[in-house]
Chains A and B, each alone.
Chain A
Amino acid sequence: MTIRFLLNGREVACESAPDRRAVDLLREEFGLTGVKEGCGGGECGACAVLVDGSARLSCLMLAAQLAGRSVVTVEGLGTAEAPHPLQTAFAEHGAVQCGYCAPGMLMAAADLLARDPSPDREAIAGAVSGTLCRCGGYGKIVEAVERAAEAMRPGPVRKALRKKRGGA
């Protein structure tokens, strides 16, 4: 079947068996190998992508389920020229060791920050608790998400401006 969807902000279409795993479609047809596979069974979180804004596991999704949706992979979160604050924070604060879990971690974190711009450490740990990091880098991962959340929150100046505008 032909599957049309929005992929990292661009409309795409491809021919695919409807029951093909979404992770394979993204990696093999679209070359988005930032989407990782670590278990194929929902147990490691490495394959997470954002579907209509919420983190889902592409190893448990079928190609047909993507039709008409908006899908964002780690490649679409930010680019080399303009990395997402989460990506910058991961790199700067040592949240990347072997880095194989990083894309899944980033998707889980992006989902969290969209819902809760100022999570505490426990909320962050909970949000990434479905993504296994075998390098054991959880402390720095949580710290990086914290730092990214700070960077993404409107600063005092921006906050004041917004208030003013809202009041006017």
Chain B
Amino acid sequence: MSRVHAPRGLAELLALRADLPGAALMAGGTDLVPRSRARGGLPEDVILLQDVPELHGITSGKGLLRIGAAATHAALLADPRVGRGLPVLARALACLASPAIRNMGSIGGNICTASPAGDTLPPLHVLEARVELAGREGVRELSLAEFILGPGRTALGPGEVLCAVLVPRPEGFSLQHFEKVGLRGAMAIAVVSLAAMLRLDGRGRVAEARLAWGSAGPAVVRCPAAEAALLGRRPTLSALRAAARHARAAVRPIDDLRASAAYRREVAGNLLLRLADLSSR
């Protein structure tokens, strides 16, 4: 039988965290519980984040949205600052798992799980989001790339908690897109996914491109060469095809139950072509 702790504030949480280094943090539990079940049970101590108010709010600061790590996917979707303000993230949230899981699961849980298929990760990468970690010693900030080290591995220190995700408000990115390729219409883990943000100049040419792929390597894959290939060009099929070639060279996918590496590689490139339909509308 596990002990379940329900701290009521961040200070209490950090104290517990320091006292119980082996304890598992549980936000929505949608990763922790099934994973523990497969391993034969929950850890001896479980610390619930549900009653820690500091981890739940969404606040806007100077050019920044600060999202509490335990904010649920549903809460984010319902907030116009995400729902309308960050379409690339909102699209990913809208197809993450199922509505009930979105009512439970948190953005912090999605990040800390560090799954190559985590749906919020490619959007957070192109949004250039940072994470805020708190420990007894204080607070530090890391980029997502610094925080996620590999499948299931993060830079979270002992005694630390992921407090918030800091998302700079994107300016001028008129084209934001997320697409997940799954094996069915809902409740599908990403076989490969693409998050894209394009900033276009007055003549419709790409002034800045940010592209990130999920399930295409041990962590989210960025591809500067593909981004560069789009610069100064309209996002036409031929420009996107050129970028796609770079993308296919950059991804490091694996074979698994859902698809082969070769398929993932091909589709990682193909997904870029969808941007042509979007920008022509």
A–B contact with Cβ pairs below 8 Å: the answer is yes
Query: Which one of A40, A61, A112, A130 contacts B186 once the chains associate, using CB atoms below 8 Å?
Result: A130
Query: Which one of A43, A54, A131 contacts B103 once the chains associate, using CB atoms below 8 Å?
Result: A54
Give the interface size class of chain A.
20 to 34
- Contact A126 B1, CB 8 Å, known A41-B34, A42-B101, A57-B104: no
Q: Which residue of B lies closest to A43 (CB)?
A: B187
Query: Which one of A17, A60, A127, A131 contacts B1 once the chains associate, using CB atoms below 8 Å?
Result: A17
Kindly provide the distance from the CB of A68 to the nearest chain B CB, expressed in whole angstroms: 9
B42 at the interface (CB under 8 A from A): yes
A74 at the interface (CB under 8 A from B): no
Q: Which residue of B lies closest to A39 (CB)?
A: B34
Chain A positions 133-150 with a Cβ under 8 Å from a chain B Cβ: none
Q: Which residues does chain A contribute within 8 Å of B236, judged by CB atoms?
A: none
Establish whether residues A55 and B1, one from each chain, have CB atoms under 8 Å apart when the complex forms. Answer: no
Query: Which one of A48, A55, A60, A108 contacts B33 once the chains associate, using CB atoms below 8 Å?
Result: A60
Establish whether residues B104 and A129, one from each chain, have CB atoms under 8 Å apart when the complex forms. Answer: no
Task: Report the separation of the CA atoms of residues A30 and B30 in the bound assembly, to the nearest whole angstrom.
Answer: 24
Establish whether residues B2 and A18, one from each chain, have CB atoms under 8 Å apart when the complex forms. Answer: yes
A36 at the interface (CB under 8 A from B): no
Query: Which one of A19, A108, A130 contacts B97 once the chains associate, using CB atoms below 8 Å?
Result: A130
Chain B interfacial residues counted at CB < 8 A: 26
Establish whether residues B6 and A64, one from each chain, have CB atoms under 8 Å apart when the complex forms. Answer: yes
Query: Which one of A40, A55, A62, A67 contacts B100 once the chains associate, using CB atoms below 8 Å?
Result: A55
Task: Report the separation of the CA atoms of residues A45 and B74 in the bound assembly, to the nearest whole angstrom.
Answer: 16
Taken residue by residue from 30 to 60, chain A's Cβ proximity to chain B (1 for < 8 Å, 0 otherwise) reads as: 0000000000111101001000001111011
Q: Which residues does chain B contribute within 8 Å of A108, judged by CB atoms?
A: 99-100
Kindly provide the distance from the CB of B241 to the nearest chain A CB, expressed in whole angstroms: 32
- Contact A19 B103, CB 8 Å, known A42-B30, A45-B98, A64-B48: no
Establish whether residues B46 and A60, one from each chain, have CB atoms under 8 Å apart when the complex forms. Answer: no
Kindly provide the distance from the CB of B277 to the nearest chain A CB, expressed in whole angstroms: 20
B40 at the interface (CB under 8 A from A): no
Task: Report the separation of the CA atoms of residues A126 and B29 in the bound assembly, to the nearest whole angstrom.
Answer: 22
- Contact A19 B42, CB 8 Å, known A48-B100, A130-B97: yes
Establish whether residues A42 and B34, one from each chain, have CB atoms under 8 Å apart when the complex forms. Answer: yes
Chain B positions 1-50 with a Cβ under 8 Å from a chain A Cβ: 1-4, 6, 28-30, 33-34, 37, 42, 46, 48, 50
Query: Which one of B37, B46, B187 contacts A130 once the chains associate, using CB atoms below 8 Å?
Result: B187
A2 at the interface (CB under 8 A from B): no
Establish whether residues A130 and B100, one from each chain, have CB atoms under 8 Å apart when the complex forms. Answer: yes
B157 at the interface (CB under 8 A from A): no
Establish whether residues A56 and B100, one from each chain, have CB atoms under 8 Å apart when the complex forms. Answer: yes
Q: Which residue of B lies closest to A52 (CB)?
A: B103
Task: Report the separation of the CA atoms of residues A48 and B186 in the bound assembly, to the nearest whole angstrom.
Answer: 17
A97 at the interface (CB under 8 A from B): no
Task: Report the separation of the CA atoms of residues A40 and B30 in the bound assembly, to the nearest whole angstrom.
Answer: 11
Query: Which one of B4, B30, B97, B185 contacts A62 once the chains associate, using CB atoms below 8 Å?
Result: B4
Q: Which residues does chain B contribute within 8 Å of A67, judged by CB atoms?
A: 6
Task: Report the separation of the CA atoms of residues A43 and B42 in the bound assembly, to the nearest whole angstrom.
Answer: 19
Establish whether residues B4 and A60, one from each chain, have CB atoms under 8 Å apart when the complex forms. Answer: no
Kindly provide the distance from the CB of A8 to the nearest chain B CB, expressed in whole angstroms: 19
Query: Which one of B2, B3, B6, B103 contacts A111 once the chains associate, using CB atoms below 8 Å?
Result: B103
**Chain B interface (Cβ within 8 Å of chain A)?**
1-4, 6, 28-30, 33-34, 37, 42, 46, 48, 50, 74, 97-101, 103-104, 185-187
Besides A40-B37, A42-B100, 16 new A-B residue pairs in contact (Cβ under 8 A), listed by A number: A19-B3, A19-B42, A19-B46, A43-B187, A60-B28, A62-B33, A62-B46, A64-B4, A65-B29, A65-B50, A111-B100, A112-B99, A129-B98, A129-B99, A130-B99, A130-B101
